[in-house]
Amino acid sequence: MKQAVKTGKRAKRRSGEGRGGRPTKAEAQAIEDRILAVAADLFARDGYAATSMERVVSECGAGKDTIYRRYPSKRAIFGAVLERSRRRIMARLADLQVRQSSQNSLAQLKELASLLLDINLDPELVAFKRIAASESLVAVDSHSEPEPDAIMSVLRTLVTKAQADQRIVAGDINFLTNFLINSIIVGPTTLAMFGYKPLATPKERKLYFEKAWKLFLGGAAGRQG
């Protein structure tokens, strides 16, 4: 316990807390990063009910007032954790797009689908999804339109590009995009949500993906007649 208190005090000194005056912009960002990192670890490891604001305060080393000024409730801090996760996913997608600049459209679509499978099976993200579903933490407002899904938008763009290049069949973009997701990602993700650990190794995931991708492209009918 004494060690935890000392660690918290050191963290406060490094971030500018407890020394008087307002922290710099960089220090404020470091404080926020630390709060969300600790909260993300607690939510993913112990679940929503077992993660209290007091535990976040205790384990991240930031002052109680510092945390409550930013996040007035547990629901608010969980929402910030989800947004942090979304930003990280979008950064990975942006990095992939930069690296794919010399690839043809079908190769780009395949690599994106593989990355999305990896992302959706990430244990932390699976835990967050389970929390959001079980705790009914997805905000619903019948008077407003749902926010566009940026990840789906990236996927639809590549499906459209592959169609234009005649590398996949013509057809309804939304149908083909959803078919791709259902063919490759939904099954393993659903198992993970229910507590199973499908495709636990990179080798298993690669073998599964190659089979699922082949079926997505060619269907399961085989030769006709």
Q: How confident is the model at residue 113 (pLDDT cuts 50, 70, 90)?
A: very high
Residue range(s) defining the domain that contains residue 43: 2-74
Number of separate helices (H) and strands (E) present in the chain = 11, 0
Q: Which amino acid is at 151?
A: I
Q: Can you give the pLDDT at residue 97? A: 85
**Do residues 63 and 128 both lie within one domain?**
no
**Do residues 123 and 202 both lie within one domain?**
yes
CA atoms of 211 and 188, how far apart (whole Å)? 13
Give the length of the chain.
225
Residue 223 lies in a domain: no
CATH number at residue 30: 1.10.10.60
Residue 135 lies in a domain: yes
Residue 86 lies in a domain: no
pTM of whole model > 0.75? Answer: yes
φ/ψ (deg, to 5) at 53: -60, -35
Query: pLDDT at residue 139 above 70?
Result: no
How deeply is 203 buried, as exposed, middle or buried, from its count of CB atoms within 10 A (0-12, 13-18, 19+)? Answer: exposed
Are the beta carbons of 121 and 192 closer than 8 angstroms?
Answer: yes
Q: What DSSP designation does 122 have?
A: -
Are the beta carbons of 167 and 105 closer than 8 angstroms?
Answer: yes
Q: How confident is the model at residue 146 (pLDDT cuts 50, 70, 90)?
A: very low
Q: Can you give the pLDDT at residue 25? A: 84
Angle between helices 123-134 and 74-99 (to 10 degrees): 140
Residue 206 lies in a domain: yes
What is residue 140's three-state secondary structure?
A: coil
Tell me the average pLDDT across 129-144: 64
CA atoms of 4 and 43, how far apart (whole Å)? 20
Residue 178 lies in a domain: yes
**Do residues 127 and 39 both lie within one domain?**
no
Tell me the average pLDDT across 145-168: 85
Specify the higher pLDDT residue, 141 or 220.
Answer: 220
Picking from 8-22, 50-64, 103-117, 209-223, which range would have the lowest pLDDT averaged per residue? 8-22
The Cβ of residue 188 has, within 10 Å, a number of other Cβ atoms equal to 21
Question: Of 141, 139, 149, 150, nearest to 79 (Cα)?
Answer: 139
CA atoms of 132 and 48, how far apart (whole Å)? 9
pLDDT tens per residue, range 170-214: 999 999 999 999 999 999 999 999 989 889 999 999 999 999 999
**Do residues 65 and 152 both lie within one domain?**
no
**Do residues 192 and 137 both lie within one domain?**
yes
**Do residues 135 and 208 both lie within one domain?**
yes
Residue 9 lies in a domain: yes
Q: Can you give the pLDDT at residue 7? A: 45
CA atoms of 62 and 11, how far apart (whole Å)? 7
Residue 155 lies in a domain: yes
* Tally of domains in the chain: 2
Residue 149 lies in a domain: yes
Picking from 57-71, 81-95, 102-116, 137-151, which range would have the lowest pLDDT averaged per residue? 137-151
End-to-end Cα, the chain, rounded Å: 74
Query: pLDDT at residue 168 above 80?
Result: yes
Are the beta carbons of 86 and 65 closer than 8 angstroms?
Answer: no
Specify the higher pLDDT residue, 142 or 166.
Answer: 166
Q: How confident is the model at residue 28 (pLDDT cuts 50, 70, 90)?
A: confident
Q: Can you give the pLDDT at residue 143? A: 44
Specify the higher pLDDT residue, 21 or 130.
Answer: 130
**Do residues 213 and 120 both lie within one domain?**
yes
